[in-house]
Structure 1
Amino acid sequence: MTQVKHSQLLNALNGMQPSWPGLHPTASWAAKERLYYWTNVTDDSALFLAREQQFGRERLGGCRLGWQPNPVSKMLWSRILLSSAGGRTLKSGASIATSNGSLFLRFKSSKTLPAQETEDGTLIYTQGAMPDVARDILSKRHADNGAFFVCDLRDMAKKVELWREFLPRVAPFYAIKACRDPVVLNGLNTLGVNFDCSNKGELSAVLNMGVSPSRIVYANTVKSPPDIEFAHHHGVRLMTFDSAEELAKVKDKGARLLLRIQADETGSQHSFNTKFGCTFSEAKSILQQAQNMGCSVVGVSFHVGCAYQSTEIFSHTIARAKAIFDVAANMGYNMTVLDIGGGFPGGLRRQHYFRKVCESIRLATDLHFPESSGVHVIAEPGQFFVTSCYALIVQVIGKRLREVVVDGISQPHQELFINESKDNCVSRNLYDYLDVSIWPLQEPLERPNDVLTTVWGGTCNPIDCIQARKPLFEAHVGEWLLMDNIGAYSLSRASGFNGLPFAPVHYIAADEDACAVRRILDASPLRSGYCQPESVLKEALLAQWRTETTTRDSRVAAAAAGALQC
């Protein structure tokens, strides 16, 4: 960690807002291990802990920090266990020994985080971590005790940066089936990410944002004729296929085709090969028929599946793709696109594995498709961008204690019932793969995961089991929990089964993005985060809403122009 001078820290503290009383040059300061902390021993004493990240306003155990002063070595305030405190989280009234003597700590009383609020009650924050924002939302709610999401758009932006750092040659086409939240789609579009769509509905969602059709891959090997006609009419040309039968549907549509091949799925827990992709021998026959029909096959695509154990499945399949490129070249084709599909891990605790996957891909593409080859490499990441930027906040609505026998030994077992479900907003068959973890939002926050626990969804479905017989902390009826890594295939698969509501989404955005987020939310007639109700609205209602929105926007623009002239 970068060393910071005592004087620098004090100067930074002096730059805080006047509304934040006191950390001044008389404040005591000490450093223990890799953490910095200091306190004012006068009124409104507070403890601040720093890591090497961005210095901004956050909350720490009830403390409210001031606005960003001069940056100090990219430091971020957060709640951290100090070894000097005997492994305890420091609380108000705690006393610790330091090289400067004993320090007495008293935290400032908790204050709510500022947030913009839309007409329908959606909150937009520009500061705070997910747990702090979740607690703030809970403090502001009264009658409504339903579950809700917190979406940190800053996390999504960091994922885009991470992708470009570790896969600089690979252009990402976001698979919008993972999460079609309009705020997410607009955010990724602003960041220059392209889009992977699989039908007319998804194509419409992206085209309506003003995305150029050249930035879309129609990645569905079996497409309906009306959807193909829609894509053709709107200029979407790049699309996948895996059979000669599909060629007849697209031969006169000006399509630039990617032949999807079966991937090496060794160790993959979710196989795609059963439904998608052709074999090597089938590929040669399909290419010949495409040539006879005058179809333009410009490259190869594949998808390795998900929950795989070895990163080598990418390198093995890229080698297979090269063999197809060679066969095609001998037939007179000039292929220029390699689509390496999706399946990129995006969870909070899987970034190290993502880096290993990227290393395997870089080595394989440099070997088989060097930049000098002229081949453009693209991919279809979905869950990578959105998994960790969403958390689902749920309440324990019921609890049952039983004794169970495991390996011949009787032990306590708690069954928790929550106000959400795998039949609604909780990821279904991908729950374990996405590495979802459950955390307490209320004190005590540091609880051992030492109770065998089954978590049930709050529906009448007898198999609505979210996780079965796994270690978890002791929880109680009425308390709120945070489920992380839950942004992929949750909102997009919510169904409202058994009368469960669609959990609303609240957002955390960078300062410069908050107004844009609000504009997107205000312009939509749907609940924040969702798209699927569009399919059940009567067309007349949608047309009426579009007309009213256009009229309102025109009036606002005219009023703004008049104000500028004045």
Structure 2
Amino acid sequence: MSKKGDRYVESTKDFEFDLERYISEERFQRIKTFCRDKETPFLVIDLWKVARKYQELQDGLPFAKIYYAVKANPNEQILRMLIDKGACFDIASIHELDQMLRLGVSPDRLSYGNTIKKARDIAYAYQKGVRLFATDSDSDVLKIAENAPGSRVFFRILTDGSGADWPLSRKFGAHPDTIYRIILSAAELGLDPYGISFHVGSQQRDIGQWDHAIATCKYLFDATREQGIALRMINLGGGFPANYRAPTLATEVYTREITRFLQEDFGDNLPDVFVEPGRFLAGDAGILVTEVVLIAKKSEFNQYNWVYLDVGKFGGLIETLDEAIKYPIYSERTGPCQHVILAGPTCDSVDILYENEKYELPADIEEGDLLYFFTTGAYTQSYCSVNFNGFPPLKAYVFDEEEFREKECVAP
């Protein structure tokens, strides 16, 4: 270990980044040209990548209806492109409902997928034409029956999220035995029990989690049929992975195995099948560009430099909470590398991105340098704070290669 100025440098290896895993060098150069002179931090959305991921999923699960999870990235150019491709949409609030209706989407292409909703919001969605609602509790079923009579409902079962980088257990869904009782209650209240949904956890690496959840759906299909209720749909939820630092299996492996799980339980006569991708469609399309604001050392005897950026947890990188999502980070500098601690710019002590997971960056990185966070198209701009510490919401620019035009949009 050598010393450079007042900074310790790990010089045993050079900084390495497999750029081609995320984007071709030629395309990256065009995007950097597109971004020239823009003030950091900002997000670039490569619209072509969203379209490509949509086609991948459509090819792998041709029998499924794709409901894009609007919350992942509600950018209107993404939404318009998916509307043109015939996608359906999973909405989490009446505000997303209004956005989709304003874009001309027919309400029969919308699913109110949030199990936590006010009675007046249910009534509003029903008045606007929505007839498909998710639920997982007695109280919510009663509110749907009173404010959206006769609607189709699907019932979310509890999963533990094992194997997921961002688990969704406990808050959503209910035990299958509880769901069984709620299904019977919904039928008695005049609702149409349509199907079962689940979510195996976001960025799910264990494909076997779908196997167990689908088997649970089959159990509920059989149990409710004995009571004269014919469930007709399985909603596979999200969970399909984006391309972060840790490798995942190819999309075709996920879709092939999930198809096999469905056929093992339901044979060739499958029920209606829905999927709700969000991260999978939008994640790979994003490049977040940030500037190094400060490089500091806490102690002369601590080998790790702190590298502070102009974006952090409150500016769009909240999924670094507990270092759950590990974004690939690229620097244009080369040469010997060093391990660093990465943090954001706000006056909040939790605004540390990676401390336990030490990232390697070029040892000669300087204040004012740009870093590129790949796979940041999902849950970044839509997650950022409005005005914390006075920092404005993260801006986004859509890179539409066909027309090479720039659209600036501030997070809603």
Measured on the aligned residues, the alpha-carbon RMSD in Å equals: 2.5
Deviation (angstroms), 1:403: 5.8
Deviation (angstroms), 1:277: 1.1
Match of 1:487 among 368, 377, 381: 377
Rounded Cα–Cα distance in structure 2 between residues aligned with 1:247 and 1:471: 50
The DSSP-based 3-state class of the residue aligned with 2:66 is strand
Whether the aligned pair in 2 keeps the contact of 1:434 and 1:485 (CA below 8 Å) is no
Q: Tell me which residue corresponds to 1:425.
A: 316
Q: 1:451 to 1:248 in 2, by over 3 A?
A: same
Rounded Cα–Cα distance in structure 2 between residues aligned with 1:347 and 1:490: 15
The DSSP-based 3-state class of the residue aligned with 2:193 is strand
Q: 1:148 to 1:264 in 2, by over 3 A?
A: closer
The DSSP-based 3-state class of the residue aligned with 1:505 is strand
Q: 1:399 to 1:273 in 2, by over 3 A?
A: closer
Whether the aligned pair in 1 keeps the contact of 2:241 and 2:248 (CA below 8 Å) is yes
Deviations 1:9-49 (A, max 9, x none): xxxxxxxxxxxxxxxxxxxxxxxxxxxxxxxxxxxxxxxxx
Q: 1:447 to 1:177 in 2, by over 3 A?
A: farther
Q: Tell me which residue corresponds to 1:279.
A: 175
* 1:498 is the counterpart of 2:389: yes
Whether the aligned pair in 1 keeps the contact of 2:320 and 2:353 (CA below 8 Å) is no
Q: Tell me which residue corresponds to 1:168.
A: 62
Q: Tell me which residue corresponds to 1:528.
A: 409
Match of 2:106 among 199, 202, 212: 212
1:101-120 alignment, distance < 5 Å: none
Deviations 1:69-121 (A, max 9, x none): xxxxxxx9x65xxxxxxxxxxxxxxxxxxxxxxxxxxxxxxxxxxxxxxxxxx
Q: Tell me which residue corresponds to 2:7.
A: none
Match of 2:400 among 509, 524, 535: 509
Rounded Cα–Cα distance in structure 2 between residues aligned with 1:386 and 1:205: 18
Rounded Cα–Cα distance in structure 1 between residues aligned with 2:27 and 2:218: 45
Rounded Cα–Cα distance in structure 2 between residues aligned with 1:267 and 1:388: 20
Q: 1:272 to 1:514 in 2, by over 3 A?
A: same
The DSSP-based 3-state class of the residue aligned with 1:151 is strand
Whether the aligned pair in 2 keeps the contact of 1:435 and 1:485 (CA below 8 Å) is no
Match of 1:323 among 219, 244, 251: 219
Task: Determine which structure has greater relative contact order: mean sequence separation of CA pairs < 8 Å that are 6+ residues apart, divided by chain length.
Answer: 2
Whether the aligned pair in 1 keeps the contact of 2:94 and 2:121 (CA below 8 Å) is yes
* 1:246 is the counterpart of 2:140: yes
Deviations 1:457-477 (A, max 9, x none): 011112211111333222111
Whether the aligned pair in 1 keeps the contact of 2:161 and 2:200 (CA below 8 Å) is yes
Deviations 1:491-514 (A, max 9, x none): 001213111123322222142x65
Q: Tell me which residue corresponds to 1:399.
A: 295
Whether the aligned pair in 2 keeps the contact of 1:341 and 1:381 (CA below 8 Å) is yes
Unaligned runs of 5+ in 2: 1-19
Match of 1:333 among 229, 245, 251: 229
Match of 1:133 among 28, 31, 47: 31
Deviation (angstroms), 1:172: 1.3
Rounded Cα–Cα distance in structure 2 between residues aligned with 1:492 and 1:416: 25
Match of 2:249 among 327, 349, 352: 352
Rounded Cα–Cα distance in structure 2 between residues aligned with 1:239 and 1:465: 38
Rounded Cα–Cα distance in structure 2 between residues aligned with 1:137 and 1:277: 42
Q: Tell me which residue corresponds to 2:195.
A: 299
Q: Tell me which residue corresponds to 2:348.
A: 461
Rounded Cα–Cα distance in structure 2 between residues aligned with 1:461 and 1:348: 26
Q: Which amino acid aligns with 2:340?
A: T
Q: Tell me which residue corresponds to 1:48.
A: none
* Paired residue total: 384
Whether the aligned pair in 2 keeps the contact of 1:240 and 1:259 (CA below 8 Å) is yes
Q: 1:333 to 1:168 in 2, by over 3 A?
A: same
* More deviation, 192-201/461-470: 461-470
Deviations 1:314-371 (A, max 9, x none): 0110000010011111111121111011111022665635443323211111222344
Percent pairwise identity:
26
- The structure number with the bigger radius of gyration is 1
Rounded Cα–Cα distance in structure 1 between residues aligned with 2:244 and 2:204: 17
Q: Tell me which residue corresponds to 1:472.
A: 361
Q: 1:265 to 1:416 in 2, by over 3 A?
A: closer
Deviation (angstroms), 1:301: 0.6
Whether the aligned pair in 1 keeps the contact of 2:203 and 2:240 (CA below 8 Å) is no
Deviation (angstroms), 1:411: 6.5
Unaligned runs of 5+ in 1: 1-50, 52-75, 80-127, 405-409, 522-526, 532-566
Rounded Cα–Cα distance in structure 2 between residues aligned with 1:307 and 1:432: 14
Rounded Cα–Cα distance in structure 2 between residues aligned with 1:451 and 1:420: 21
Q: Which amino acid aligns with 1:230?
A: Y
Q: TM-score, normalised by structure 2?
A: 0.86
Deviations 1:505-535 (A, max 9, x none): 2222142x657xx7xx5xxxxx51522xxxx
Q: Tell me which residue corresponds to 2:282.
A: 386
Q: Tell me which residue corresponds to 1:146.
A: 40
Q: Which amino acid aligns with 1:220?
A: N
Deviation (angstroms), 1:195: 0.4
The DSSP-based 3-state class of the residue aligned with 2:319 is coil
Rounded Cα–Cα distance in structure 2 between residues aligned with 1:411 and 1:447: 22
Q: TM-score, normalised by structure 1?
A: 0.63
